[in-house]
A and B are shown apart, each in its own frame.
Chain A
Amino acid sequence: MLSEIVFHVNGKKIVYTGNPLTRLVDVLREDLGLTGVKEGCGEGECGACSVIKDGKLVTSCIIPVGAVNGSEIYTIEGIRDTEKGKCIIDAFAEGGAVQCGFCIPGMVMATYALLSSNPHPTEMEIRKGISGNICRCTGYDLIVESIKLASEKGGDLWA
């Protein structure tokens, strides 16, 4: 039986001894100060709280921290200074993907997961790749274009 939850966030070891039902999003934002992780719906539907857990995109609002023992979690703060992260962020800026910006950390994480498994997605694959991320400003087209740009500009980065 576990009495403490040990996991890594952005490469840093975390030992959590509080309520195991605390939502991962709250641990990330409130305890670790990683406020790039946004909470929109709190039901796993909008994708604003998306993080990468053991290489896979998940929504941190529906995951209790007790379920991440032994996991490697990455948030927007953990990838923004990496080559891949910079590639996406630059492409989003160049492509004009950002309006209010609330959905963007989640969009970037979804893009990161998509391009890491599929370096050259078709437009339909891009739209599917961000289908769990809701944006109320852009109408998605400029985000889709920017993801195409990240795929093209990244080149070998994603292979």
Chain B
Amino acid sequence: MGMTYIPSTLDEALHLRAEKKARPLAGGSDLMVQSKRGIGLAPEFPFDVMIITGLKELKGIRKLDDGSVEIGALSTPAEIADSDLVPWHVRQAASGMGAIALRNSATIGGNIGNASPKGDLPQPLILLDASVVLASIRGERQMLLDDFILGSKKTALGDDEIIKSIVIPDYDFTYLFYRKIGMRKANAISKLSLSVAAVVKDGEIIDFRAASGAAGPRVIRSRDAENLLKGHKTEEIPEIQESFLDSWNNAISPHAMPLYRRNTTRRMLSYFLSAIYSGKAEGIIEEED
């Protein structure tokens, strides 16, 4: 059983990370559950742990000079969902995580670091080309979240690094869509999720991107599929839609209920495309009940 530390500053935490390889524990919503031993018993970990919940350096959501938004790793889903600074897709995902109490304790750093394919926040963050700021006693580095998450429960985090913050570039989309599918509305683990965003100007698709969550070991972004739509006129959508949908379907993992995930994703994407094609008012494409 490992030791447990409670660092008071980020600097202390980085030294513990470097010297003891202590792993950070923040909200507890993943680690405390994964290692629970039952009533009256404290969880045990086979490695050293540091409880970083109190570190002020990892808190707060702020706008940077270039218009991007930096979210401290200890920000909770409730704080993210409530923040006007945070892009819509990410706020939607945050507001649908767990239930109220979980949204008050879980953290964005934990949701990313846990790297579950069913995690709610990586999906919209990867849609938005967000990057992750990693800190160690050697300094800081920043990398795309899409490169940081290597697979199910696997990340590129160095054994002396901790996740410090997440930076989301500034985008202005014409059309936006988000959907999480779970067994119930609260406390549901995603069965499938999808974010879509498009920039349409003078009838031309300038930008088009989508991200599928819980559809493979990593969040799916298929640039090849996205490129099939970019540069085309919206009036061409009926002709090019099938090749796009086929290409996106091929990006979805063939291993986990592919028929369900492909069909459902296909329906959501074609719903979004038909909304653009029919010249719907700009903004959020709502689902019809």
Q: Which A residues form the contact surface with B (CB < 8 A)?
A: 1-2, 5, 19-23, 26, 30, 39, 42-45, 47, 50, 53, 56-59, 61-64, 66-67, 69-70, 110, 113, 128-129, 131-133
Contact of B5 with A by CB under 8 A: yes
Whole-angstrom distance from the CB of A39 to the nearest CB of chain B? Answer: 6
Q: How far is the CB of A6 from chain B (nearest CB, A)?
A: 11
State the Cβ distance, B81 to closest chain A Cβ, in Å.
12
Is B157 at the interface (CB under 8 A from chain A)? Answer: no
Q: Are B32 and A131 in contact (CB under 8 A)?
A: no
Smallest CB–CB gap between B91 and chain A, Å?
Answer: 16
CB distance from A57 to the nearest CB of B (A): 5
Whether B99 is near chain A, meaning CB under 8 Å from some CB there, is yes
Interface string of B33-44 (1 = CB under 8 A from A): 100101111111
Bitwise, B94-124 to A at CB < 8 A (1) or not (0) is 0000111110110000000000000000000
In angstroms, Cα B28 to Cα A26, docked, is: 15
Contact indicator per residue, chain B 181-197, by CB within 8 Å of chain A (1) or not (0): 00001110000000000
A26 touches B43 (CB 8 A): no
Bound Cα distance A56, B33 (Å): 20
Q: Does B6 contact A (CB under 8 A)?
A: yes
Instruction: Name the one of A1, A30, A62, A69 contacting B5, with C-beta atoms under 8 angstroms.
Output: A1
Question: B29: shortest Cβ distance to chain A, in Å?
Answer: 5
Report the minimal beta-carbon distance from A61 to chain B, rounded to whole angstroms.
8
Bound CA–CA A129/B100 (angstroms): 7
Smallest CB separation, A76 vs chain B (Å): 15
B54 CB-CB contact with A under 8 Å: yes
Find out whether the CB atom of A64 lies under 8 angstroms from the CB atom of B187.
no
Which B-chain residue is minimally distant from A56 (CB atoms)? B104
Contact yes or no, A20 B187, CB < 8 A: no
Asked whether B99 lies within 8 Å of A47 as measured between CB atoms, the reply is yes
How far, in angstroms, from A70 to B100 measured CA to CA in the complex?
22
Residue of chain B at shortest CB distance from A113: B100
**In the complex, which residue of chain A has the Cβ closest to the Cβ of B30?**
A62
Chain B contacts for A26, CB-based, 8 A: 39-42
Contact A62 B40 (CB under 8 A): no
**Do B4 and A58 touch across chains, with their CB atoms under 8 A apart?**
no
Q: Are the CB atoms of A30 and B102 closer together than 8 Å?
A: no
Bound Cα distance A64, B178 (Å) = 33
A132 and B98 form a contact (CB under 8 A): yes
Task: Flag if A44 contacts B102 (CB, 8 Å).
Answer: yes
Query: Smallest CB–CB gap between B153 and chain A, Å?
Result: 18
Contact between B32 and A62 (Cβ–Cβ < 8 Å)? yes
Residues of B with C-beta under 8 A to A129: 100
Is A131's CB under 8 angstroms from B42's CB? no
Report the bound CA distance from A45 to B78 in whole Å: 16
The residues of A that contact B101 with a CB separation of less than 8 Å are: 44, 47, 50, 57-59, 110, 132
**Chain A CB within 8 A of B25 CB:** yes
- B57, CB-defined interface residue at 8 Å: no
The answer to whether residues A66 and B4 also contact, given A42-B36, A58-B105, A132-B186 and a CB cut-off of 8 A, is yes
- Min CB gap A115→B, angstroms: 13
Q: Which residue of B lies closest to A63 (CB)?
A: B28
Would B104 and A58 count as touching, CB distance under 8 A? yes
Bound together, the chains give a CA A56 to CA B27 distance in angstroms of: 13
With a CB–CB cut-off of 8 A, which chain A residues contact B26? Answer: 67
Measured CB to CB, the nearest residue on chain A to B9 is A1
Of chain A, the residue at the smallest CB distance from B15 is A1
Q: For the complex, give the distance between the alpha carbons of A61 and B78 in Å.
A: 19
List 5 other contacts, CB 8 Å, given A21-B42, A64-B32.
A2-B6, A43-B33, A53-B104, A63-B32, A70-B54
User: Can you give 20 contacting A-B residue pairs, CB < 8 Å?
Assistant: A1-B7, A1-B8, A2-B8, A21-B45, A26-B40, A42-B33, A43-B36, A44-B29, A44-B101, A58-B105, A62-B28, A62-B33, A62-B105, A64-B25, A64-B28, A69-B6, A131-B99, A131-B187, A132-B98, A132-B99
Bound: A1/B9 CA distance, A = 8
B44, closest chain A residue (CB): A21
- B1-24 contact mask (Cβ, 8 Å, vs A): 1 or 0: 000111110001000000000000
